[in-house]
Amino acid sequence: MVSAANDTFLTIRGPARAELRILGSRFIAQAFPVASRDAMSEALEAVRRTMHDATHHCFAYRLGREAPDARSSDAGEPSGTAGRPLMAALERRELTDILLVVTRYFGGTKLGTGRLARAYGEAASVVLEACERQEYIVHRRLAISLPHPLIGELLHQVARVGGRIAGTTSEAVARYEVEVRLSRQEEFCMALRERTGGAARVVPGGVRAVPGSGA
């Protein structure tokens, strides 16, 4: 669910990888953009399959916008030493639609819980700093019907809020598919009703995330 007041979110443009060595152990951190639970599961399974001989595959993911679907796993490491710092790294950067995996090859020297948690947190930070971030803006699709003489007013209001025309048909009345930024939907609808004397009929549809300028 996305609120009109918060219609942007940050994710990453593409996968990234980084590696650290701490007291003989290798920490291989990877980040993947994922837009669904299925995509997340496939990416995680691919990591496990590719590095099947590793000691641990710890991970954290966040999907969605507000109240996201989020989970982390220590994957056999002491409780709280891996999944928690990975999730904290994602939350601190306000990233979503992302899977973060840190694979560990044990080097023979135990790190202790404090140093181990710092190692996972550092690996997470290094790979996330290497990622190119992407901002998305959530738009609402609106189905609008109105008399033909009022088309000019509709086009003016769409342009005023930075929306776009997604489709149109011409019958006894004009029918348009319009996309406007979620945070400007109410403003747009109110202005259109006022400027057309209530002649424009607006039916809200689904939402779509549109790439912004980056981050």
What pLDDT score was predicted for residue 109?
A: 84
Question: Model's pTM, two decimal places?
Answer: 0.79
Domain-located, residue 58: yes
Per-residue pLDDT of the chain (215 residues; tens, 9 = 90+): 445 557 889 999 999 999 999 998 999 999 999 989 999 999 999 999 999 999 999 999 999 876 679 999 999 999 999 999 999 999 999 999 999 999 999 988 888 999 999 999 999 999 999 999 999 999 999 999 999 999 999 999 999 999 999 999 888 889 999 999 999 999 999 999 999 999 999 999 998 888 886 55
For residue 139, give the CATH number of its domain. Answer: 3.30.70.240
Q: Which of 100, 131, 162 is the last residue of a domain?
A: 131
Its domain, for residue 61, covers 8-131
Whether residue 18 is found in the same domain as residue 80: yes
Whether residue 39 is found in the same domain as residue 98: yes
Whether residue 145 is found in the same domain as residue 47: no
What pLDDT score was predicted for residue 57?
A: 97
Whether residue 145 is found in the same domain as residue 49: no
Closest CA to 137 of 32, 202, 203, 215: 215
Whether residue 24 is found in the same domain as residue 77: yes
Which residue's structure tokens are 């995509």?
39
Yes or no: say if 98 and 33 are a contact pair by the CB < 8 Å rule: yes
Yes or no: say if 52 and 92 are a contact pair by the CB < 8 Å rule: no
In three-state secondary structure terms, 110 is coil
Whether residue 65 is found in the same domain as residue 122: yes
In three-state secondary structure terms, 59 is strand
Beta bridge partners of 146: 174
Domain-located, residue 19: yes
Domain-located, residue 3: no
What pLDDT score was predicted for residue 1?
A: 43
Whether residue 101 is found in the same domain as residue 164: no
Calpha distance 170→154 (Å, rounded): 14
Whether residue 158 is found in the same domain as residue 179: yes
Domain-located, residue 122: yes
Whether residue 29 is found in the same domain as residue 101: yes
Domain-located, residue 2: no
CA atoms within 13 A on the CB side of 100: 37
> Helices marked H in 7-139 — which ranges?
37-50, 83-92, 113-130
Q: Which of 101, 131, 161 is the last residue of a domain?
A: 131
Domain-located, residue 146: yes
Whether residue 42 is found in the same domain as residue 123: yes
Yes or no: say if 137 and 207 are a contact pair by the CB < 8 Å rule: no
Q: Which of 131, 157, 191 is the last residue of a domain?
A: 131
Whether residue 87 is found in the same domain as residue 165: no
Give the dihedral sign, CA 47/51/53/57: negative
| Total tally of structural domains belonging to the chain | 2
**Based on C-alpha coordinates, what's the Rg of the chain?**
23
Whether residue 160 is found in the same domain as residue 77: no
